[in-house]
Structure 1
């Protein structure tokens, strides 16, 4: 599956904590790299936004959580993301406050799942990983 195909298929999906959210959207894309599931230990761990936030907090934050998940499948951090890489970015939420979210770099913008649907835009990268 190409990144364009994945993004097209994701446009019609609805926010569902623990299934299709800011972690599982890029996590499922990372599965397509053929190295395993970086989300394996997260699956079934939360079913609400509040539960997801608690899970992330207990893990030491989103960057730490992603670092563990991606390193478990042999994917390392990259300095400058390339199209198709995943990352944790600061994006503006519905309350107009920046918050860390998992995202996919399209080559020109970050794509991330939001409660209102799939969003695309500039964001500050906190960390990125890619299948080099």
Structure 2
């Protein structure tokens, strides 16, 4: 394992939220780059600056969009470090598995929740 999720969370939670630079999806893409050595967001980094622009890029289907962009195989059960789309307060967000919970980026810091994943990717 090239990196540990807990270390990544501690080192990145304080970065100011900015759509298209530091948001829930790019935070997970940064993890993929660090952990697996590929950037699933390479084609669309810097191409949006608002939530509405991000929704236009994803077509409002975050799981489907990430399935097309992520070269990792889909998994039925999550392991430490895997990535997923989860639902939090009625919103689909990208997340990273940490222990028994999912870590996800919020406008102020990182949240940890127990949630059923909508879709999981990992090795």
Normalising by the residue count of structure 1, what TM-score does the alignment of the two structures yield? 0.85
Contact 2:14 2:108 (C-alpha < 8 Å) held by counterparts: no
The CA distance in 1 between the partners of 2:36 and 2:51, in whole Å, is 29
Instruction: Note the residue ranges of structure 1 that are not aligned, 5 or more in a row.
Output: 93-97
- Residue by residue, what CA displacement relative to the aligned partner does 1:11-56 show, whole Å, maximum 9, x if unpaired? 2112110111110011110112334211111212101122112212
Count the aligned residue pairs.
Answer: 121
**RMSD (CA atoms):** 1.4
Normalising by the residue count of structure 2, what TM-score does the alignment of the two structures yield? 0.90
The runs of 4+ residues in structure 1 deviating greater than 3 Å are none
Contact 2:13 2:105 (C-alpha < 8 Å) held by counterparts: no
Contact 1:91 1:124 (C-alpha < 8 Å) held by counterparts: no
- TM-fit CA distance, 1:10: 1.5
Instruction: Note the residue ranges of structure 2 that are not aligned, 5 or more in a row.
Output: none
Q: Which moved more, 1:115-124 or 1:104-113?
A: 115-124
